Structure formats: structure tokens, C-alpha cells
Structure 1
């Protein structure tokens, strides 16, 4: 027997503890294991972020996320059947385990094959081997997931905790050891093969326990088959609906924002989902103990609620206090991209505790209709919200979608949860009722199951459409030695003086005094006083990179002072051929002088070739620009959106233009970064103008076609 199996087997002698003590032991083991695996899971993605290219990390995370959530769907609700009915299955337990695991393995193969057939094949599956291996990956992870609730049903949820911890350590060691092959398949195999070994060892010891332990050598006390099928139908609907959101959301991120953005999402969500799952895993030992000891339902219910409250508060505080530090281990760009999502998760995790508590109560009562309908509602909110919000907010939009869904769920379920606690404290409803489900509830279950089956296919076909226009075209985080130039394959220079159409006083150079990397992952563009003039720099991607539809964004710290005019903007590729303003100009962010406003806008020609300007202005406190912020433009057919961080500040639409003004923004544009000095708009520099005045760029990213 393996060392892993031996560790599990040592707990057998202590398995028949009093109900409350066993609940506490199993719950603490699950919490400790989930917290540890959450940290190790973040370490796994941090290591992959350091050792693998972002695009490979993003692809692997999309594959793993999809497989994990498909595996949850493949359990068909059998996991909660095991949790609820294995404690009273008696001599039928070994057969129930064998048949259930065979069924789930078959469903894993089927659901994996369906995703390969109808999902976004091009971004996810880049070879025939990947398509053939993905269903096997779902099979392994489905069996791995089913073991958690099977362990709980057999009174040893702590064995599942050991399994999960061993897997977390093993996959981390494997990916670090195999990183010399820096491809997505290395990450995926490190995850899957270690899960297969841990699952096999755990299944062996669980099967032996069900065949030899005295509790499962007694007569079965299972309810009538019709009631079990009713519970099964509801559980399948709940499991499927719970899976759809997390299954589709990573695909939305990949197709809407790009593979690199999904890498940032995966690292952040690994931490959030570990805490999410930890809160729901607290419910599993509770349901199993109440099934085995229904006379103690009141004491067990209150213990579960108190534990859930502590876990929810600790999870929220941990995300706020420790989360940013953990993201920083993966890199500054991961922390910058994931920080807002962490804060939103800290808000919605306590709300999810309400749903988790009510889920436990509903399973004890075997009355799942309300919880099923709430899960269906949450699925719609999460999918629709993520689809809409990620287009303007990036991965932070997922956090807002989950916050809205969890707030709605908590508002609906808090009343019934409190009512249940009052009844059991009064000595009522301590045991589940055995009435069959009414016709209305049967149709609710059937409808939810049909929705759960049909919705993923529809959504996956939908999110496949924008894939080609959502590729990451450029990501530059300006890593390099201090004093070196930015990548010449990406950036060129506009040189000279002459006022630049605005009577500006600076002369643009390519000198390291005016443009260089700082050695800490930043590009620094510096305006300097040089006698009676200023020198500065203007960088451009002209002739190197341009895009039509998609998103350009930069994380920048801006200078301020009399006469200063820093900018991040875009020009039409055809500027040399047609001139300005016929080329079009998009000003993503500009500030002038003391930076009391963020200016953005769009400049185009009227029918006579004269300029028109669409302008947006956001008042700010001047110190706002002293910190890094992400300024962005989203270009869609006939629509230009601009904003800062998670806020949309301006939207321009072709349909709003007068007839004599031409929309010239659905064509290739290139990027520019510069610091101008003086001119007719900001006014002249004076003795108070800082020198040097630095515009510091953390990173620039373009996603589009």
C-alpha cells in the first residue's frame, strides 16, 4: 500500500467519534486542508507564471478550469447522494460506491468529448493529442471530486482533506521539476497525473472501509427509491448550475480579453475559489453527521453556522490583508490586474456563506426546490454579468457579476435559513419529511436540469465568435537593465521640435536621458530642462503594431506641473497618406499642468476635411496621477469607450455623429506615449515646472485582431 493510503488508513480507528466531535474534526481537517491547498494552489500558479510564458499559462488555466468544472458537472449529483445517504446505506454501500464511480467516470469522458466537439476549439485545443486527452483529464478530475463527498458520507471527510493536500504538494513539485518543457501541456499533465494517483489510493481505502466497517455491515435504512430519485434530480440540477458559471467564465475571459488576461484571472481566482470551496465544504460533514444522528440536528446545525461565520470572516480578511502580497509573488502585473478582483471577492464571500448554510439545511430536510431555483437565477446573473462587464472592466467585471449574484442569493435565502434554525431550536422538524415531491416541484427540477444541460452548449457556441478578435497582440512589461532602451521591435521614436502643431517647446530625442528602462520593470519618459529649452521623448508603435477593434491599455504614473502635457493616445495608420485629422486621433488620457482633470477624446474630419473633436473630461484631485492607474480604450465597430481602472469615463458612437462628420475610427491605429511641454493648451512652462518630469509606464497591452 502507498504512503498516501497508509496515512488515510490510520484514521480508521478513530472514525466512530461522538457526532459533534466527529463533525468538528472533519470540518477542521477540511478547512485546514483547503486553506493549505489554496496557498499551494496559488504557489502552483505563481511558479507557472515565473517559469512559463503568459500565453501558455493562460491556455493551461483555461483547460484546467474547464476540466475541473466539467468534472463537477460529471458527478451528476451523486456526490451529494453519497454525502446524504451513505451513512444509512448499510450493506449496500460497497455496491453503491462501485456503480457510482463507474457512472461518473463515463460521464467525465462524455462531457469532455462534448466540449471538444462544440467548444472554442482553436484557442483551447492546439493539437489532436490535446483533443484526445481532454476527456481523460475530465474523467480523472471527476473521480477525484467525487471522493470528497464519498469520504464525508463514510464519516471520514478528513481523508479527503489528506488527498487534496497530497495532490497540491505533488502537482507543485511536478510542474517545477518539468518546467524545462515550457508548454501548456506540462502544466496540464502535472495537475492531472498527480490527481490520478491520489484518487486511486483514496478510492482503495474507502472501498475497504465500506466493506469491513461494522456500520456498513448492518441492514440498509435508505428511503424509498422514488424519494432518492427526487433528491438525485434536484442535486444534479444544482451541481450542473453551480458548474456552468465557473465553466463559462474563463472562456469568456479568454475570448473577450485574451489568454494573457486569463493568466492573471487564473492566478487570482485560484485563491478566491479555494476559499469559496472551503466554505461549501464545511457543509458536507454537517449533512453526513445529521444523516447518521438526526436526533442531534439542533446542536449540529448551530455548530455548523458558527463555524461558517468564522470561516467567512477569516476568508474575507485574508483576501484583503494577505491576498495582494500573495499575488505579488507571481509578479507586479498579476498584482495590478487581480487587486480589484480580490477586493470584490472579499465582499461576496461572506454573502456566499448564507447560501452555503441554507444548502446544508435544505439537504438535511431533502427539500431542494428553493435552493435549486436560486442557483438557476445566480447562473444567469454570473454569465450575463461577466459577458457584459469584462468588455469594459477586464477581469474585474467577473467580480462585479459574482457580487451581484451572491447579494441576490443572500437576500432570498436568509429568511428561510433563520426560520429553520428557530424550528430546530424549538425541537421541531429535526428529521426529514418523507413525502414525495409535488408535481410543481418535479417540473421545477426537470426544467432546471434541462437548462443546466442546454445552456453550456449555447453559451460556448456564443463565446466562440469573438475569439479571433480577442488575441493578445502585444504585452510589454518593460523588463530589462536600467538605462537600456525599450524593445526596438515594438517601439520607435518621433524626433525633433517645431511645435508639433501645438506650439510646444520641447525637442523630442531618443537619448537615454529622455527615455529608458529603470531596471524595475518600468519605462520612464522624462522631460528635462536643457538651458532655455526642454528635451523629452515620444514613443510610437507606428510600422510595428496597429489594431482595428479590441482594447489598448497602459498602467501609467503621470507627471504634473506648469506646462506639462503627458499623453497616451492613438493615431490612424494612414496619417502620412491622408494627413491629420483625416487619419483620426484617439486620446486615451491627457493631463495638463497641475492635472485637475483627465481628458480623453476622439478627433476626426468633417466632410470638408476640417477637424471635429468629441471630448470627455473627468475631474480629479491632482495627487491622483501620482499613483499608477490603468488607462484604456475599447474599440468596437461604431463604438469607442475609454476609461481609467474599473471606470468607464467616455463612450463615443458613430450613430451620434452629425451627417457632416465622418467616423474614421474603424481602421488600423497605432499607439503613442509622450510628455510634451508648453504650447497653446497647457500654457508655457515656468520656473515652477519640475525638471526632470517623468512619465512612468508599468506595462502596455493590446488585445484585438
Structure 2
């Protein structure tokens, strides 16, 4: 038996198992599970797997929005900014150090059979120490994160340990969902993430009021540690049962692992940096109050980016079914994407002020910042669509290059725009250069994508004639 590869454009696999999977720090990618060693549909989790993962992702997104809304209502704006910096940082570390092993396990576990337990534990024992060590280095380089986690009177070493634990735990927490999906337990993800959200928000209300930013951090770290400890024991039993039902099985070779994880991990790194490092840089450069306003506004771009990316995944399935219609499918999907999302961006711009005021009066002055971010997101739609085209075509290295290049340009802009103290105009005035820079970068990258696309069309016409 040979290891079954991940489906790419033009695959002859059946398409009834297509679904999209995503979590906060990673780029959603269309995956089709290969058949299991025993050919059982149940073991792949195809029965309702896509719906389960969509619900699980929606629970996480809604819980995140609710928790920051509650934090903004309970805490001073500066405390929200400090807490957001810590959370963004450990999610950043966890996302990068996952090395895209979550999707790798989705690809390899269904055919691993009796080798599933060592495959799972080797992956987790790589991710957790790596995330912990990178997190340790990160928090030592940015001691403000440790001070927030430790609290006003807590020792610095406590904050360092909490941050490293959160990074290591979150890296494994996210991968647990992929493992459960691969072994045919998709609805366990829904219950697991739903209960986690309830506990985390409850702790936020209890601890945030008493401990401020540290309370927000503890409302994350405590449940993460408990969920990883208990969840790993449950996973041990579930994976062993999955392995016992299989007859034989095969592990991926080293070349296959490197060939798959190399470009996809690079793309994941770009997406993680974009979502989490950008608000973190703003908080550290402009201060927690202005940073909190930017963080809340930034969440709108995160939601729209993720939703638009999910939408482009339909192109992968259609392309695989009819590769001869690739040009037609690409054009029609771009038109639909713009028709759907441009009005949403316009509505968001109109409601920017009232929407931010829900979080508190101090957030409303950042309405112009949000409008500029949404303008940038309008240009970004062209880039997101091109990323979808490269995914559908199986051009993983080109996908990774575009993702990393656009992300690094945004980070460079955020790091280089002049920083100033919050003055009479509030956070909105101070953050305007950041938002203008983001919109300008997206315009430049979108223009590059359009120019490259037009050149490709001209070359194709020349070859045709």
C-alpha cells in the first residue's frame, strides 16, 4: 500500500468528502481525506465532518468576539491592549511552530492504521516543546508580555512560565481538532471547543474584574492547560481504538513529509504573522490604549479575510472536477467574490463608528482607522482570490511566496510608520498612518497580481496563435 497524497487540482478522487478546516492562526485549506485502511466512511469522519468543523470554527470566532467585547466593557482600554498583546503573541508562536502538522496529520492519519499512535505523539511531542522554547525566547525578548501575565506584583519568572505554557498548550490544542477529525470524531471538536469557550468567558468575567489584564491572560492559560492535560488522555484512548480497528497501515516517508510541510508551513507562517504580529507590533509601538483600539478594529479584517478565503475554496473543488474550464471558473469566482464582499465592506465602513462604540466610547474615535483597513481589505480581495487560484492549481510555492511577501510588506510598513503619543485626537489620529500604510500595501500587491495576470494572459494568447 502506498501513502495516498493530498488531493490537488485534477485529482480523480471523489469529491463528496471535501471540506474546509481552519483555526485562528492558520490559513484555511481545502482538504479531501483519503480512504482509510479499512475503507470505512465512519473512520474518516466524512459523515458531517465539514459541518462539525464549520460549527467548531464559528464557535471559536463568536467566543473570541464575545470575550473581547466583555473585556472592553469590564476593563480600562489600556488593560485590554496589554491583554491583547499577550494573547496575540502566544497565538502567533503557536501558529508558527505547528509547522502545518495539523493538515499533515489530516493527510496521513487515515492511512496510518496501527501506526497512528506513534504518528500522533511524535507530532505533539515536536510541536509542544518547540512552541514552548520559541515562546520562552519571545517573551524574554519582549519582557512587557511577561509583566502583563505576571500581574502588577507577580514575579517576572511567573509571567515567563505562563506565556511559555500558553504557547505550548495552544499549539497542541489546535492540532487536537485535526487529529479528532482524522480519526472520525469531528463532533467531539464541537463539544470540546464549545465547553472551552464557556469556561474561558466565565473565567474572564470572574478574573478580569479582579486582576485586570492578568485576569484576561489567566482566563486563557488556565483552560488551555486543563484542556491539553485531560484532552491528551482522551486522545490517547481514542487514537488507540482507531489503530486497533485497522489492518496494517503505513507511515509517510521523510521526503513526503518535507515536501508537503515545507511550502505549506511557510504559507501558514505568513498568515499567522499577518493576523497576530501586526496588532502586536501596533500595541508595542503605540501603547496599550491606542493598541487596544487598533486590535478591535483589526478583528473586522480578520473575520473578512477568513470568510473570503473560505469562499475561494469552492474554486478548488470546481477546478478539480473540470480543469479544462480553469480560466472560466477563475473569472466567474472572482466576479462573485467581489459582488458579495465589496457591499459588505461598504456597509462595514458606514457602520464603523456605531460598531466600535459598542465596545465603549474610547473605541469609537478609531472609526476612520477601521474604514481605511476595510478599504485595504477591498484591494486584498484580489490577493485572496489569487491565493485561491494558486491553491486550486496546486502551485504551493507560488502560494507561499505571495502570502509571505504581502505579509512582510505590511509588517515593514507597521514597523516603520512614525509613532507618536496619543494626543488630543486620540487613538484614531495616531493610528491613521498605520491604516493608510496597510491600505497602500494591499493596493500595491493587488496591482502586482493584476499585472502578472495580464502578462500571463498575453503569453497564453501568443502561444495559442
More deviation, 388-397/311-320: 311-320
- In the alignment, does 2:398 pair up with 1:375? no
**Equivalent residue number for residue 223 of structure 2:** 194
- In the alignment, does 2:99 pair up with 1:76? yes
Give matches, 1:274-423, under 5 Å. Answer: 274-280=303-309, 312=341, 316=345, 319-320=348-349, 324-337=353-366, 339-349=367-377, 351-352=379-380, 355-356=383-384, 359=387, 362=390, 367-389=395-417, 391=419, 394-411=430-447
- Tell me the distance in 2 between the aligned counterparts of 1:26 and 1:309: 29
- Tell me the distance in 2 between the aligned counterparts of 1:194 and 1:239: 25
**Equivalent residue number for residue 23 of structure 1:** 19
Instruction: Report the 3-state secondary structure (helix = DSSP H, G, I; strand = E; otherwise coil) of the residue aligned with 2:419.
Output: helix
Per-residue deviation, 1:147: 3.2
- Tell me the distance in 2 between the aligned counterparts of 1:375 and 1:173: 36
Q: CA contact under 8 A between 2:145 and 2:159: conserved in structure 1?
A: no
**Equivalent residue number for residue 683 of structure 1:** none
How many aligned residue pairs are there?
397
Choose the corresponding residue for 2:197, options 143, 168, 176: 168
Q: CA contact under 8 A between 1:211 and 1:217: conserved in structure 2?
A: no
Provide closer, same or farther for how the CA distance between residues 71 and 111 of structure 1 changes in structure 2, counting only shifts above 3 A: same
**Equivalent residue number for residue 7 of structure 2:** none
Radius of gyration: which is bigger? 1
Instruction: Report the 3-state secondary structure (helix = DSSP H, G, I; strand = E; otherwise coil) of the residue aligned with 1:333.
Output: coil
- Tell me the distance in 1 between the aligned counterparts of 2:233 and 2:146: 38
Q: Which structure has the higher relative contact order (CA within 8 Å, separation 6+)?
A: 2
- Tell me the distance in 2 between the aligned counterparts of 1:314 and 1:167: 34
Provide closer, same or farther for how the CA distance between residues 183 and 223 of structure 1 changes in structure 2, counting only shifts above 3 A: closer
- Tell me the distance in 2 between the aligned counterparts of 1:359 and 1:155: 29
Is the strand fraction higher in 1 or 2?
1
Choose the corresponding residue for 1:235, options 264, 272, 296: 264
Provide closer, same or farther for how the CA distance between residues 140 and 235 of structure 1 changes in structure 2, counting only shifts above 3 A: same
Choose the corresponding residue for 1:104, options 127, 131, 136: 127
**Equivalent residue number for residue 43 of structure 2:** none
Map Cα deviations across residues 342-369 of structure 1 (whole Å, 9 max, x no partner): 3234334455455555556655765422
Task: Give the superposed CA RMSD.
Answer: 4.4
Provide closer, same or farther for how the CA distance between residues 31 and 295 of structure 1 changes in structure 2, counting only shifts above 3 A: closer
Is the helix fraction higher in 1 or 2?
2
The two structures have a TM-score, normalised by structure 1, of 0.48
Map Cα deviations across residues 469-490 of structure 1 (whole Å, 9 max, x no partner): xxxxxxxxxxxxxxxxxxxxxx
- In the alignment, does 2:290 pair up with 1:261? yes
Per-residue deviation, 1:159: 5.0
- Tell me the distance in 2 between the aligned counterparts of 1:204 and 1:353: 42
- In the alignment, does 2:179 pair up with 1:183? no
- Tell me the distance in 1 between the aligned counterparts of 2:218 and 2:200: 9
**Equivalent residue number for residue 136 of structure 1:** 165
Per-residue deviation, 1:186: 0.6
Per-residue deviation, 1:144: 2.0
**Equivalent residue number for residue 92 of structure 1:** 115
Structure 1's unaligned 5+ residue stretches are: 1-17, 421-705
Provide closer, same or farther for how the CA distance between residues 314 and 151 of structure 1 changes in structure 2, counting only shifts above 3 A: farther
Q: CA contact under 8 A between 1:34 and 1:278: conserved in structure 2?
A: no
Choose the corresponding residue for 1:47, options 70, 91, 99: 70
The two structures have a TM-score, normalised by structure 2, of 0.69
Provide closer, same or farther for how the CA distance between residues 402 and 192 of structure 1 changes in structure 2, counting only shifts above 3 A: farther
**Equivalent residue number for residue 59 of structure 1:** 82
Instruction: Report the 3-state secondary structure (helix = DSSP H, G, I; strand = E; otherwise coil) of the residue aligned with 2:265.
Output: helix
Per-residue deviation, 1:329: 1.9
Instruction: Report the 3-state secondary structure (helix = DSSP H, G, I; strand = E; otherwise coil) of the residue aligned with 1:332.
Output: coil
Per-residue deviation, 1:135: 0.4
Provide closer, same or farther for how the CA distance between residues 313 and 169 of structure 1 changes in structure 2, counting only shifts above 3 A: farther
Structure 2's unaligned 5+ residue stretches are: 1-13, 21-47, 151-155, 421-428, 457-465
Provide closer, same or farther for how the CA distance between residues 406 and 51 of structure 1 changes in structure 2, counting only shifts above 3 A: same
- Tell me the distance in 1 between the aligned counterparts of 2:321 and 2:243: 22
- Tell me the distance in 2 between the aligned counterparts of 1:310 and 1:212: 47
Instruction: Report the 3-state secondary structure (helix = DSSP H, G, I; strand = E; otherwise coil) of the residue aligned with 1:23.
Output: strand
Per-residue deviation, 1:34: 4.2
- Tell me the distance in 2 between the aligned counterparts of 1:185 and 1:81: 35
Give matches, 1:254-653, under 5 Å. Answer: 254-280=283-309, 312=341, 316=345, 319-320=348-349, 324-337=353-366, 339-349=367-377, 351-352=379-380, 355-356=383-384, 359=387, 362=390, 367-389=395-417, 391=419, 394-411=430-447
